[in-house]
Each structure stands twice: as structure tokens, then as C-alpha cells.
Structure 1
């Protein structure tokens, strides 16, 4: 029996696509309920445990577009399998970590290991559309959006369950069976792409461009992780490296990131900007709210995970109901307004707030959680050039995780030694400002009305 339905999309590709794309968001969120017990185990305050979040995003922000470009050139199978193997190794290292430093290093390794899943999935969706001559079903993009963002909300609940069973180390060990499943599905389901570019491989990869990109991003992210540290020289190095990167990409025949093409695609740049702002709010809530529920409100890790569970359910419903429509403007407007309302509600919470108010905030934020990622992903799918879909999808994640690092740094700055209600209110005010910027950028972007109307 044929596995190709009337739409033409190869359904055998869906399991590895979904699993690979889920690895990074699950690991991004599952750590949220582990930060407090890990801090107790190693004697680290919130300002230090924030590195467990930032380390993953630092590696991912650099690795996503690099791996995405490799996928554009050589196909997804090899990169997917290598990433799955690296994810398993990181899971073993994190589970056995004897010190906080080793644990941070395992999170860096995990960030690189989980880089391939999302660019590979976006590459496969686009390549299937080219193979069949039909645009990929909206349901496939919706399923991917649910997997990459909404399912991340399962992380805290899953993390709370794992901590209850085997302690915080179990939240790292979960990557071992996930990696094994990825290796199996990758070997069995993903197509093999012949390598026809062995001659001039270094030129095709643009290694100098990748190196300058990484240097600029590392220095920028290190500064953002501790902006009050006074390391302004990091910003100077960022500017120099970014200038060198731009000069290189404008002159090389096969640029890592075609900045001339990207600079002429203002709608895509606006989408990247919205991704940054959206992730700042989402992850500031995910990490900050979770820590406050445990330390400020006195919930256990398992209880905090359960409180966040409606975020997943509401997000799933929002994505599913609106997924058939390829238009994005309405989704982004409703999503940005939802973030404004949720951030405003955080200002009214305190140590004695009843449980239903904690749940109410989670439910309100679930709507933008389901809408924004779906709309951003669909925007990139329609705005990016087909031959650079992998690297364009990787850049979407880079901007998103830049926002996540800003969120992590904000949480460490506003909470300091303890996640109390005063710190939550300061964090909520910061999130509210970012949410208003997200709304303003969405209202001002008239190009959004054309996205999804014609491919």
C-alpha cells in the first residue's frame, strides 16, 4: 500500500520530523523545574543556574543556521543522525555530571546535538512540495508548530514527574531514549541524499563566514547574559566580527548567509524580529514564573509543572483550530494582544494568590503560545527562498533563542538570590514592554496580509 496520500506528502517522514524538532524545545523547557533542585544540589543561586538555560541557547543559536546550511547543501539525513548521536552523549554526560561546570558543558553539547531537527523538518516540507509540485498540506506545518513550541510546555510537567521519580538527573537522562528513537527513525525513514559536491567542499561551506558569525554571536550573547558586568569590550568585538562577517558574505561566491538577499527581504527580517520579541516573553514566563511558583509561592517542582500543563492544552487547541488557515496577520495580532494581557495579569500576583489565579494566567498565555509560533513558522516558509530553507529556518531559531537568552538574563537579574514576588513584578513589567513592542511591529507590518494567500 502506498504511503503517499492524495496530497502527495510522504507520511513516513512525519515521525522523524516531529521527534527531531521536539528535542530542543523539550530540553529548553524541562530544565525550568530543575533549576531550583539543581541549585540546591550544587549550592548555586538563580543567577548561576541561569547558565544552564543560556548554555543550551548559546550553542543552539550558533549551531542552527550552520547546521541548516549544511542541510541545504547535503540533505538532512547525515546531519539528523549526527545530531541524534550527540544528543544521546549529552544525556549521559548530564546524568553523570559530578559538578555544576560539567553539567553546563553537557547543556552546550545538548544544544549542538539538537540543532538539526527543526531545519531538517523545514527542508523536508519544502523538498516534498517541490517533488510533488503541490504546496505542503497546512496540517503538516501545523503539526510541526505544535511540536516545536506548544509541546515545549509539556517539559515542566514531564520534568516534575521525572524529578519525583528519579531526581533532577532524570531530566537529563531522558535524552538517552529520545536519541535512540531518533537514530532508529532517522536510519529507517529519512531519504539518503547523494553527496555530489566533494570538490571544493571548504568553499561551499564558507568556513570563514561561519567562524565570524559564531564569534559575533558568542560575544553578543555573553554580554547579554550579564549586561551589568561591565564587559563592554564584548560589544566592540561583536561589532568588529559582524562587520567582518558582512564584508566576507558580500564577496564570497557561496555565502553561509546571503546578507544581500536577506537585506532585500524586509518581511523576513521583520519575522525574525518578531521571533526574538516573542521568545523573550515566552521564556521569561516559562523560567521566571516556574521559579517564582516554587520559591515565591511554595509549590513543589511537580506541582509547578502541573500548573503549567494548561498552557500546553490551550496552545494545542489554538494551533489546531487556526492551523488550516495559512494567513498569519490575524494570528499574530491575537497572539501579541494575548501576551500583553498575560503580562499585565502577572503584576497582580503575590505569595498568597489563590491557585486559580495562577492557572488563569497560564490559560491566557496559552493562546499566544499556540498562535505565535505557528504564524512565525508559516511566515518563514512563505517568505524565505526555497534553496535556503534550512538556513532560513535555522536563523528563525537563532533569533528566537537570542530572545530566550535575553529572557534568561532578565530572570537572573530581577530575581538575584531568590525568585520572590517583587522580582516577579519587575520581570512582568519588562515582559509587558517587550509585548507592546511585539504588538507594534505586527500592526505596522502590512506585508503580513499577503503571507499565505499565494505560494
Structure 2
């Protein structure tokens, strides 16, 4: 097979694997009512099927990236696809809801392997044979966008025609196709850089992984349930874990969290900017449907159709943004993305006085483009700045910012819409979004590249 064609097919396979994480998340969200009825549980209980997946992904993305760094990205990507295929097949046979959630955790770990492993493979191939990385990064990121776009539509269709179990079974053939293509098309890894046995376990720095997970999960759970009495101690747990993590990271030779990298002027603004832009985007992604249905009176089916441009525009903008990033440079594009998102947020204020479907489509389309800019721009920034030996864990932590941003967005929405789904709530939301965009623009301005080609 022609090497160029082989590489393009390999990138497509990695994009297919990357699609599984957002697809699994957004697709099952549509089936919560069916799950609740089948298992005879409450609304609060059934949402755990979504919560455990998010919390798993927050920790699993950098952990799988670390595994890719120390074991080899092809091995980790293939293993992740095997886990998704097996667990998606047996999950509908779970004897109870708790068992189903446990299998959902396993799917979260498996699907989290795809993105960091893919960028590690791209980095390796680019370094060895001089392949241009940006088109490949864009196609892999396109898998993330496709998962977000297809999830609600596919989930709604499946639940209406068949059964929620089909939502799990759909992931299995996708994972198997990605697995077969990865094994056939991607060059095998060499011997694990970290060795085997105890040396491999030591290289993973599992105590730091546990502290990292405890810190992130404690804070996110507290923020999601701040009024509950049992949630307050989680703040202390999170802060204590963070301090222990910093202490350990300074003492370990190759820590899971490399403080010198994470706090550098080329990486810290990347994390901050991407996290804030993700919070802003998910405020729209989760908040706009509520406003359209609760304040403007659109039906559920209409809302689903009107929201398509928000994520769907990424499918069109993706290759254009990739070319602009290569020609113009990362910093300029990230600043433009933040300013564009702020302008689009102000445009949403028109929906306080008008409710024509065409206007909703325009607003969603306008707000979708800057998020495409951010996802590609910050992925490229991290790709350019992270050392080759740490590209997996670094890009995994970038995805942690995405999941954490989605969680924080739900908290923002609960506050701004606490008095009801009216125009005043939307206006408050726009203020928060614009402020977030200003922070993101500041992060982009503060970003300092160590690679002249990246600026």
C-alpha cells in the first residue's frame, strides 16, 4: 500500500477511536429515562451512569496518556479498543444498575486511551519520517466533534426504535474496526521505554495518579453538590491531595505531574485557556436547549434540530482552521477564537426578544466556530510544547480540562437559571460567557512558545 494512503487510513482509524469517548457520553444521555424505567430507580440515581463516566474520563485521559508514554501508544490504543468492545458487549447483560455503572467506568478508561495515544503516534511518525502533523491532528480532533454531533441524534433514534442496550452494542463494532485498522496500519511500538515489571509500575507513578484523581474528583463533586452537608469535607480532601501531589512531584525523578512543564509559560496558559473556553462552550451546549424549550417554547424535537449547527459546524470548519493555524500561527488564532466567542455570546442576547428558528440556527453556528478554533488551536499548542516523551500525559491532561469544563458549566447554569429560564437568566449567562472569553484571550496573550514554528 502507498505509504501516504496507509498513513491517512491510520489517522482515520485513530479518529474513529477518538470518537468513542464523546459518542458514549452524549449518546447514553438520551437514554436516561429508559434506563430509569427498566431499573426502577430515581432521577438522581440514574444520572450516576453519566457522572461516573465523566469522573472516570477526567482521570483516565492523562493516565492513558502516561501509559502511552511508558508502554507505547499503539499498545495502549489497541488495548483501549479491546476494553471498549468487550465491555460494550457485556454491559447490557449487567445484573443491576451498580454493575452497569462499573462497566461504564471500564468503557471510560478504554475510550480515554484514544486521543492521547493518537497524538503520541502522530508525534512519533512526524519525528521519524517528517509527516506534517497538523492535518493528522485535525482529523483526530474531528473524531471528537463527530462524537458530539452524532451522539444525541443516534441515541434518540435508537431509544425510540429499539432499546437502551443497543446504545452500548453500537460502540463494540466501532471499537473493533478501529482496533483492526490500528493493528494493520500503525507501526508496532518498540520495547517499552520504561522496561517491564517493577520498573514499569514505578514509571507510571501510581501514587501521584491516585492523588491527582482524588484532587480533581473531590473538587468537581463538591462543586456539583455544594449545598449538601457531606460535600464540604471534600474541599479539605481535595486541597490536601493537591498539596501531597505537589510535594511528591518535586521528589520523584519522573513524576506523573511534571511541575516544571505544567507551570511553564508555554503550557499553563494552554490549560487555563482551553478550560475556560470549554466552560463557555458547554454553557451554550447544555444551557441553550433549556432556554429554547423553557423560555421560547420550542419542542424537544425542534430544539435537537436547532442545536445541530453548534457542534456540526466543526465538521466544516475543522480543515479550514487547520490550514489557518499552519499559516498564521497559534497565538493569533487562539486570540481570534476567544474574541469570536465573546461576540457570538453577545449575539445570543438577540434571543431575549426574538425567537425565529433561523436566528437560533445562526447563533448556534456562530458559537460553534470558535470552539473548533480552540480545540484545534490548544491541541496544536500542547503538541508543539510538550516533550516527545511526555506528549501522551500532556495531551491527556488537556482532555481533563475539557471534561472539567463541562462539569463546571453545569454549575454555572444552575446558578444563572436559578430564578427561572427567562431573558434575565440568559443575559446573566452571556455576561459570564463574555468574562470567560476575556480570561481565555488573556491566557492566549500570556502564552509563550518555546518553538519558533509554533508561534
Scaled by the length of structure 2, the TM-score of the pair is 0.86
Q: Which aligned pairs between 1:50-449 and structure 2 lie closer than 5 A? A: 50-92=47-89, 95-96=92-93, 101-132=98-129, 134=130, 136-149=132-145, 151-196=147-192, 197-198=195-196, 200-230=199-229, 231-263=231-263, 265-293=264-292, 302-325=301-324, 326=326, 327-347=329-349, 349=351, 353-411=355-413, 421-422=421-422, 426=425, 429-430=428-429, 432-443=431-442, 445-446=444-445, 448=447
Separation of aligned partners in 2, 1:239 and 1:407: 22
Residues 343-385 of structure 1 deviation map (CA, whole Å, 9 limit, x = unaligned): 4454554799333333232112121132111111111111212
Deviates more, 1:80-89 or 1:289-298: 289-298
Change over 3 Å in CA distance of 1:27–1:125 after alignment to 2: same
In structure 2, do the counterparts of structure 1 residues 150 and 16 end up closer, same or farther at CA, with 3 Å as the change threshold? closer
Residue 242 of structure 1 deviates from its aligned partner by 1.1
Instruction: Give the deviation of 1:296 after TM superposition.
Output: 6.0
The one-character-per-residue Cα deviations of 1:15-65 (angstroms, maximum 9, x if unpaired) are 3211111111222333454456656775644x6665444322210110111
Superposition deviation, residue 449 in structure 1: 7.7
The offset of 1:395, in angstroms, is: 0.6
The partner residue of 1:17 within 14, 34, 37 is: 14
Partner SS state of residue 323, structure 1 = helix
DSSP-derived class of the 1:198 partner: coil
CA deviations on 1:104-136 (whole Å, 9 max, x unpaired) are 44443322121100001110111011111x362
Do the aligned partners of 2:335 and 2:444 also contact (CA within 8 Å) in 1? no
Are the structure 2 counterparts of residues 451 and 136 from structure 1 closer, same or farther at C-alpha, using a change threshold of 3 Å? farther
**1:396–1:19 Cα change, 3 Å:** same
Alignment partners' CA distance in 1, 2:316 and 2:273: 22
In the TM superposition, residue 221 of structure 1 has moved relative to its aligned partner by: 1.9
Cα shift at 1:300: 5.8
**Contact 1:342/1:361 (8 A) holds in 2:** yes
Answer whether contact 2:273 2:439 (CA < 8 A) is retained: no
- The CA deviation at 1:103 is 5.0
Moved more, 49-58 or 79-88: 49-58
SS at match of 1:255: coil
Structure 1 residues 167 and 430, CA gap change in structure 2 (3 angstroms): farther
Counterpart contact for 1:311–1:366, Cα < 8 Å? yes
**Aligned partners of 2:87 and 2:290: how far apart in 1?**
24
Q: Which piece of structure 1 moves more, 234-243 or 426-435?
A: 426-435
Unaligned runs of 5+ in 2: none
Decide whether the 8 Å contact of 2:74 with 2:188 is kept in 1: yes
* Structure 1 residues 104 and 145: CA distance shift in structure 2, 3 A: same
Contact 1:160 1:304 in 2 (8 A): no
Cross-structure match for 1:454: 453
For this pair of structures, how many residues does the alignment match?
446
* Paired residues of 2:342 and 2:437 also in contact (CA < 8 A): no
CA positional deviation for 1:142: 2.0
| Structure 2 Cα separation of the partners of residues 335 and 112 of structure 1 | 31
Deviation at 1:228, TM superposition (A): 2.3
RMSD between aligned alpha carbons?
3.2
